Structure 1
Amino acid sequence: MKRIMILCLGLMLVIMACGPTLKVSSDVNKNVSFSNYKTYAIYTGKGMISQLNRDRITNAVIAQMNAKGYTQVNDTSSADLLVNANTIAKEGQSVTANTDYFGYGGFYRPYYWGGGMGMASSNTTFNVDKYIDGSLIIDVVDRAKRELLWEGIGNSQIDGPVKDPDTAIPKAVAKVMSSLPAR
């Protein structure tokens, strides 16, 4: 469990690597006109990441919201939108099996053609790989109605830290928030 917590602290460093392994999906309420919203506030939830990475994510979210024409306010009770970024990490495993056939001939594999009984054999090898699956979830909520308007999710397998998180995190947040409608 301690190992998982240590890996979770480094979760965002790996998820934020804007490489081909970052899978992004999003969903939007198509019945809402985002031009009616002007202001937003960051609503900080709880996540299993360090304060440094939480600050990097928050600053990247602020930059993306500002680039889309929204204005940040510090008071969550006066903002039109609340924006929240959370992280999730879970342990997973994949199992693969590889079977080698010995004694079978050419095109007829795995069938035995010719020879006597007991001349064919096989060997199956099983490999179990454990990994950490991490997700960054960004929600945009109508503050007055308490209604989810947009959600973006970035998902990646974690296998090691990123060399430059100050560059990687903003790129990944931009990729996750790319489908958020502008004002």
Structure 2
Amino acid sequence: MKKMIFAGMAVLLLATACGPTLKVSSDYDKQANFKSYKTFAYYNPGGDKSSISELNRNRIENAVVAQMTAKGYTQADTTSADLLVNTIAVTKEGKSVTANTDYYGYGGFYRPYYWGGGMGSFSSTTNYSVDKYIDGSLIIDVVDRAQRKLLWQGVGNSEIDGPLKDPDTQIPKAIAKIMSSFPTKQ
């Protein structure tokens, strides 16, 4: 009995600790020869007009630089780098609507049948629940500086249910997951 309680508590703890998952997608120019690129620069043409805090912008930039360096690229200035890396944060409010029909107060599970096998008259109530959430996306673009051509794009998307509990750990993990498909320098 104690083992069953402990197992149930462990599953509950894991389920609540995981939070929203980060969905990642990426695309790249199939004609690009990534082996010819050696240097990169973090580039933010939009300036500091983003809705995210300066601290988180710095965390994102540092994580991108760390990932590019780990993949074998060397950081340079924006005027001489082979690649320019840009990040864009986008948030929008979303709504989720669910309905639950309550038959005779039994939560939708009991539907009364009368003698004769047919459906009798009954009353039901439908309750609607509207939940608001924030849908956040982080887009990472890698551009050929000389040609001003997009070579690779990675997107991470997640529902945001509140401030990050440990942004110094969570942001680099998210950037690493988004950039996992970016080619390493050979």
TM-score category, normalised to shorter length: 0.7 to 0.9
In 1, distance between residues paired with 2:121 and 2:34? 71
In 1, distance between residues paired with 2:140 and 2:119? 63
Q: For residues 28-67 of structure 1, what are the structure 2 equivalents within 5 Å?
A: 28-44=28-44, 45=46, 46-67=49-70
CA contact (8 A) 2:112 2:120 kept: no
Q: CA deviation at 1:146?
A: 1.1
In 2, distance between residues paired with 1:63 and 1:114? 72
Secondary structure in structure 2 of the residue aligned to 1:31: coil
Q: CA deviation at 1:162?
A: 2.0
Q: Which residue of 2 aligns with 1:146?
A: 148
Q: Which amino acid aligns with 2:115?
A: G
Q: Which amino acid aligns with 2:43?
A: Y
Higher relative contact order (CA 8 A, sep 6+): 1
In 2, distance between residues paired with 1:152 and 1:113? 59
The count of aligned residue pairs is 162
In 1, distance between residues paired with 2:97 and 2:19? 24
CA contact (8 A) 1:112 1:120 kept: no
Secondary structure in structure 2 of the residue aligned to 1:169: helix
Q: Which residue of 1 aligns with 2:14?
A: none
- Flag the 1:120–1:24 CA change in 2: closer, same or farther, 3 A: same
Q: Which residue of 2 aligns with 1:6?
A: none
Q: For residues 11-22 of structure 1, what are the structure 2 equivalents within 5 Å?
A: 21-22=21-22
Q: Which residue of 2 aligns with 1:114?
A: 115
Q: Which residue of 1 aligns with 2:85?
A: 83
Q: Which residue of 1 aligns with 2:174?
A: 172
Uncovered stretches (5+) of structure 1, i.e. residues with no partner: 1-17
Q: Which residue of 1 aligns with 2:25?
A: 25
Q: Which residue of 1 aligns with 2:126?
A: 124
Q: Which residue of 2 aligns with 1:11?
A: none
In 2, distance between residues paired with 1:19 and 1:124? 29
Q: Which amino acid aligns with 1:33?
A: N
In 1, distance between residues paired with 2:84 and 2:43? 6
- Flag the 1:123–1:80 CA change in 2: closer, same or farther, 3 A: same
CA contact (8 A) 2:20 2:158 kept: no
Secondary structure in structure 2 of the residue aligned to 1:176: helix
Tell me the TM-score normalized by structure 2.
Answer: 0.79
Uncovered stretches (5+) of structure 2, i.e. residues with no partner: 1-17
Moved more, 161-170 or 148-157: 161-170
In 2, distance between residues paired with 1:66 and 1:117? 68
CA contact (8 A) 1:99 1:122 kept: yes
Q: What do you get for the CA RMSD once the two structures are aligned?
A: 2.6
